[in-house]
Every structure is written in C-alpha cells, then in structure tokens.
Chains A and B, each alone.
Chain A
Amino acid sequence: MLDIIINPFITLLLVLYGLLGRNVFLAIVGFTIIVRFALLPLTIKQQRSFKRMQELQPKQRMLQEKYKNDRERLTQEQMALYREHGVNPFAGCLPLLIQLPIFLSLWRAILATLASTPDQLLELQDRILIGGLDHLVPLKNTFLWMNLALPDQFYVLPILVVITTYLQQKLIMPVTPSTSSSGNDAADQAARMSRQMTTFMPLLFGFFALTYSSGLSIYFITSNIVGIIQYAMMGKADFRRLIGKEAPKKEEKVVSEVVTSEVEAGDVIETPTKTPAKPVRQPRVAKEPVEAGSVVSATGRPLKPGITERKLSGSSATASSGTTTKSAGKTSKTPPSRNRPKR
C-alpha cells in the first residue's frame, strides 16, 4: 500500500544521488530536507492546533476539577468547550497521522536504495519510476568510517540521533510543572506525558539507530536538525527550555474571554497587578445580571438553542488569573491557575 509513496521516494533519492556526485550522505541529507520542507504546511498546522489546545488548558482543568465525579458530563462540557472555540482536539494528531506513512516510506526508501540484503535489491527494479537510473543501483554505501547499509559500529550516529531527538523534543514540548500544586491530576498527567515523550522518543530512535542501517541514522539526525530549524523559523523553538525554563508568556486571549464572560454588569475586577483597577466594560447584551442556571456563551451573550450550552452554577462559576469576581450574586476568590509560578 505504501508503494505509492515509497517508489517516488526511491526514484527521487536516486536522482539526488546522481546529481550530488554519487555521494550517498549528501543524497540522504538533501532528500530529507526536501521531504521535511514539503511537509512544512502540515507541521505548521499541527503546531497551531497544539497551541490552541494549550490555550484552552486552564479552562479544561477547571472543567476537570468541576466535573471530576461526572465523567459523562465532563466529556460533554469538554466537547462544548472545543466547539465554542472552534478547536478539534484531534486536529493536532491528524497531520501527524498523515506524516506517519510519509516518514515510514522515507525510511523504506532509504533501506531499499541502500539494498543491504538480496531481498531488498531484488525488489528494487520495479520500484524505479524513471528510466536511466538503474546504473546508480545500489547506492555506494560507504561514507567516512561507516557502511551506511549497516549499523554504525562506533555508535557515533546513534548517540547523535539521541541528542538531536532530545533537543528537538525539548525545544518543541512546553515546560510543564512536575507536580501540580493544586493537586490537579490532569495537569500531572500532561506533565508526565510530556516528560515521557522527551525521554522515550530519543531512546526509541536511538535504539533504531543502533539496530538498523546507518543511512537511517543520517536521516534521523538531518530530520531533527531540519525540524529544529523549522520550529525556530516559526518562532516556536524556545531555546530557554533546554535549561528547563519557559519564555515569559503573554496573557492569553482565551483567558480574558473567560473572565469577561463571568463578570456581571457593573462589577469591578481587582487584578493582582500594579495596574489600577478599571471598571470592566459591560457586555452589551447582558442588560440584567445573569441568573444561576442561565445559559450564556463565553462572551456573555445568551445562546441560541442548539448551540453551546454551558450552565453556570452559582458557586462553581470561577475566574482564572487570580481575579476576584462576583458571580450570581456571590463573591468567590479562586486560586490563580494560569499565573502559577513555573518550577
């Protein structure tokens, strides 16, 4: 099934090999760069989706806390939240799913053209889509001290694979606190997951580099470096994360929306910042105080039937960012969830 992708990749790799002076190292590097940049739109889309999901995390945590004993309701509320903000929770995974067969094919193409076993070489004739490339087969598999068809016996490439994979993971994964001070289990889970990814992926790819052809290690290393460059170009790579720090965050739009929606007309918000307290602008449609049990949108507008339904119960209507709010006639102080100091 993957042959539809593998065969053009093999052909492209052979073309590059011929153009780059029959240097298999340069061919694999060039090939990886081309494919990575061809997939850039997907990478950007994936990053945007992750970012939107990240922005919604405080709200998600509140929902998880609020409905921790009602799974069904929690799911409904989460889906409502996603709909409200136009976020598909799986949109970040979709580009990855699309990329997966491409990277699998890339891997297979490199193995096929290096043809380290008779089986691989036997299959190669039918995989070359352009005539006149047969004289290049199989690729010359030696580069420096390595036989690229076999694992690197000096372990230099596997070590580089581990390092570059770790760097890439570290740069693109947000720093999450190791434990949640509020005892938020979901936040802990996310933090654990993030740490596992950063640890697990380099080791996994290092294992592959140790086991399989050195040509694949070159692909991994190039791919990681290109990935880091791409993220840096998109402004996503935060090099402070390498030393366990996060760049200072701007106050996010989603949070301010949530705050606004839960403030009653005429209320005053006291912020913990040094800026003087200002009266919050009254939502145009909220002429009257919102009653407990009223249906409102995130902007405070009454919702049309069939759209998002989110009920505010008096005691659980909370605000983030450490603001003091009045809701449904009651004053409540909530711990700041977003501006919690990072560890």
Chain B
Amino acid sequence: MNTSRTSRLTPRFWVLAILILGAVLLTACEGGNESWAGISTDTSGETVVVSFEKQVVSYSADGSRNWTYRDDDSDAKFYAPSLITADRVYVGDYSGRVHAINRADGKRIWIYEPKVSKVLGFSLGANDRILGPVAQSGDSLFFGNEHGVVKLDISGEQPREVWEFETEHSIWAQPLYVNDPELGEPTLFVAALDQHLYALNPENGEERWSVDLEGAAVSHPVLDAVNGRLYIGTLNYKLYAFDFNDGAKVAEFKTEGWIWDSPLLEDQTLYFGDLSGWLYALPITVDGFGEVWKTKLSDAALRAAPVLVDGVLVVASQDEKVYAINLDDKSRKWEKGIGAPAVAGLFVLEGEDGPLLVVGTKDKENLLVTLRLDNGEKEWGKKYED
C-alpha cells in the first residue's frame, strides 16, 4: 500500500512532536551543573583541594596533582569545599555522607553514612545534600545539610552521630565553632537559608539564642573577638553586627545587592562584595560601623569573599575577571580576564616566586586558574578531568 507520507502528518502528529520537543527542552533547561566546584586551601598555603562532581583532587602550589579521590561504590558527587587538617581532608557529598580522606595519599579512612529511617521500604532522609564545608573542633565534626546541622564524634574508628539540630531550611554555610573563654562559653554558630542565625551549645545541640536575619544567609558569620561581635551578610541587602553572647543587634548596613560570602575582617575593617558588583570596605567602630568606602567594580556578581595579600585587595567576579586593588589609595593595580565566571572562590597559595591567587570558576575547562599576585599573569590552570 503506497500511503502518502504527507497524509500521515496529522495535527495530532504535530501536537505529539511539539510535546516531545517541549520535553526535550525541559530536560535541557534542567541540565547543567548542580553547583560550582568547592575549593579550599590549607592554612600554610601549600595545598589546594578541589571538589567537583565525582572526584576530590589535591594539588600542590606548583600545580602538580597529589591525588584524586573517588567513591565509585556509591557514585558520590562532591560540591562542598573540603576541610583540610594536618593529616586528613574531610568533605561532604551530595548524598549526605562525610568522607574522611588521608591527606598524604588520598586514601579513604572512613565514610559517615547518615542514619536512614525506612517506612514501607522507602528511605526517609535520603535527601541530605551537603553543600557547605565541615567544621572541626577536637574530636568533633559539625556540618550542615538539608535538614539542619549535625555533630559527629570522630574519636573512634568509625564516626558516630551525637546530635542533630533541625532548621526550617537547608544549611549551606560552614558552622562556626568558637571557644574563647574571654567571650563566654563554647558556642556553635550556624547560619541557615531559613533566615536565622542560631547559637547552639556544641555539647548537646541545644539552642542558646537565634536571631531573625530577615533574609537568607548562605555563608557563615565572622567573629570579631575584639568587640565580641559576629558579622553576617544576607540575601536581603544587609550586613549585620550581632552581640556574641545574646544575639542582640549592634548595627546593620544596607548594601546595593545581595551578600553571598562571609566578609573578610582585617584591621577592624570588613571587606566584602555583593551580587550587584559593588565592593565595600566598612570600618568597625565602637558603636557599630563607620563611613563606608565602596566602588562598583562590575555589573556582574562578586560572589566570593575578597582576599587581602601584601596590601592588595583581590576580588573575583562573575564577569570572568579578577581585580587587584591597592589598599592604601584604592587604585586599580591590575585586572585580568580568566575566561570563565569566577564564582567558586578566591584563595592564596605560597608559590615559589611569591603569592599565587587561586580562582575557581564554574567552567569545566577552566575549573581552577592561578594568577601571580604581582602582575596578574596566569601561572597554571586545571580543567575537570573525569
């Protein structure tokens, strides 16, 4: 039978074709990365660890790869920055597990599996993504997930959950553990997307106080031990100063855009950027905040906190540029394009010829870029290799 092909293209065919096209588009819309790479450096500036998708990679300051960690058994995905200690690397994954890795060789020491309750064979609490870095104090680890904050006891061979404090929204910020007798009792501070800052007793997870931030907080508060205050930025155009002991609001500062990362506290001045491309230098005073210096660096977001090295303030922008500003006269020292949105963070390594700036991007081909502090020239870069 020689039926015409044209005759088969009925309107229903076109409806089906359009719906399939729509479905494909929907899938495409949803596609892309879950997040940018989680990047962290050790305190001595010798090592940088990058968590992205299925692997965690450790590099030396010269760009050589130390090791690659994967958890092929569970198909784990990593986006949280890791915590680098003297002998271990701790990192959370997208399934709510915490991995303890040997810092020297990248071998697994243990994996913490979250408790999973089952009802009729279905797993409860399976969606425990960890997006923020883990914090450590002695034999205790603290981390946030989709439901709140968890304390682990890591003194034994295997980690053990001690308590969990529930919040009304996810925690993407690193918990801040403070143990300063001059300030008061040891306290764990947790900023949540539920628009609250919580002060918890780290022993039992009980709430000491909490404050309504009137906006989501994505990153942890910064401690000002001199004045006994905490500073935290929000997605509601405000940066707050709270009293350490009772959470009373000391001051607030209105910004031009949302504040994502924690401010940098240096010489009683807070340095931070916002998502509208403004850079601020906000002095701290006895009463609260002094007169601000601010400049519009870019139309794109300044997500990551700036770094201050040798009197140079460096800022990374989503406009694919890194800006270096002389702190003394606020003049532009240099600006360099890096070929990808610089949103994944900014860190400092100790290079052979001086400080190196490590910039993380959201581009797999330019996952990590290092620039020389003195002139902004590229030293080395890394792409994602699966």
Interface residues of A (CB under 8 A from B): 49-50, 53, 60, 64, 67-69, 71, 74-75, 78, 89-90, 92-93, 96-97, 100, 103-104, 107-108, 111, 117-119, 121-122, 125-126, 134-135, 137-138, 140-142, 145, 147, 150-151, 153-155, 185-186, 189-190, 193-194, 196-197, 200-201, 204, 208, 211-212
Contacts and interface: CB of A to CB of B under 8 A. Distances in A.
B236 A134 contact: yes
B362 interface: yes
Contacts of A96: 15, 18-19
B195 A135 contact: yes
Contact of B26 (A67, A71, A107, A189): A107
B235 interface: yes
A159 B19 CA distance: 20
20 contacts: A49-B11, A64-B4, A68-B2, A68-B4, A74-B6, A75-B4, A92-B14, A97-B18, A118-B79, A118-B131, A118-B218, A125-B258, A125-B275, A125-B301, A134-B215, A135-B195, A135-B215, A138-B216, A153-B127, A196-B16
B12 A194 contact: yes
A90 B14 contact: yes
Contacts of A197: 12, 15-16, 19
A185 B5 CA distance: 11
Nearest to A49: B11
Please classify how large the interface on chain B is, using the bins under 10, 10 to 19, 20 to 34, 35 or more. Answer: 35 or more
Contacts of A201: 19
A56 to B, nearest CB: 11
B11 A50 contact: yes
A122 B169 contact: no
A104 B23 CA distance: 9
Contacts of A145: 124
Given A107-B26, A125-B275, A78 B7 contact: yes
Given A118-B35, A119-B34, A147-B146, 15 more contacts: A64-B4, A93-B11, A96-B15, A100-B21, A100-B22, A104-B22, A118-B131, A119-B33, A137-B235, A147-B127, A153-B127, A189-B8, A190-B10, A193-B12, A194-B12
B169 A140 contact: yes
A141 B362 contact: no
Contacts of A64: 3-4, 7
Contacts of A108: 29
Q: B-side binding surface: helix, strand, loop or mixed?
A: loop
Contacts of A90: 11, 14
Contact of A212 (B16, B30, B126, B194): B30
B90 interface: no
The CB with the most chain B CB atoms within 10 A, among A92, A122, A126, is that of A122
A208 B193 contact: no
The 10 closest A-B pairs by CB, nearest first: A71-B4, A150-B127, A118-B35, A193-B12, A93-B14, A185-B3, A135-B236, A117-B34, A125-B258, A125-B275
A90 B13 CA distance: 11
B2 A69 contact: yes
Given A118-B131, A134-B215, A104 B29 contact: yes
A141 B26 CA distance: 21
A263 B125 CA distance: 74
A142 B216 CA distance: 15
Nearest to A93: B14
A100 B14 CA distance: 13
B109 interface: no
A211 B216 CA distance: 26
Interface in B143-170: 146, 168-170
B262 to A, nearest CB: 15
B132 to A, nearest CB: 10
A125 B127 contact: no
Contacts of A92: 11, 14-15
A121 B218 contact: yes
Nearest to A196: B16
B16 A193 contact: yes
A84 B303 CA distance: 62
B257 interface: yes
B235 A107 contact: no
A138 B169 contact: yes
B46 interface: no
B19 to A, nearest CB: 7
B301 A122 contact: yes
A117 B168 contact: no
Contacts of B231: none
Given A117-B34, A125-B276, A140-B169, A100 B12 contact: no
A41 B175 CA distance: 52
B21 to A, nearest CB: 8
B163 to A, nearest CB: 20
Contacts of B343: 122
Interface string B254-287: 0001101000000000000001100000000000
A69 B3 CA distance: 7
A88 to B, nearest CB: 10
A119 B19 contact: no
A129 B214 CA distance: 19
A190 B216 CA distance: 53
Contacts of B318: 122
Nearest to B212: A135
B1 interface: yes
Contacts of A71: 4-7
B2 A153 contact: no
A93 B15 CA distance: 6
A189 B10 contact: yes
A78 to B, nearest CB: 7
Contacts of B8: 186, 189
A153 B3 contact: no
Contacts of A119: 32-36, 362
B123 interface: yes
A32 to B, nearest CB: 16
A129 B33 CA distance: 26
A107 B362 CA distance: 24
B274 to A, nearest CB: 9
Interface string B22-60: 110111011011111000000000000000000000000
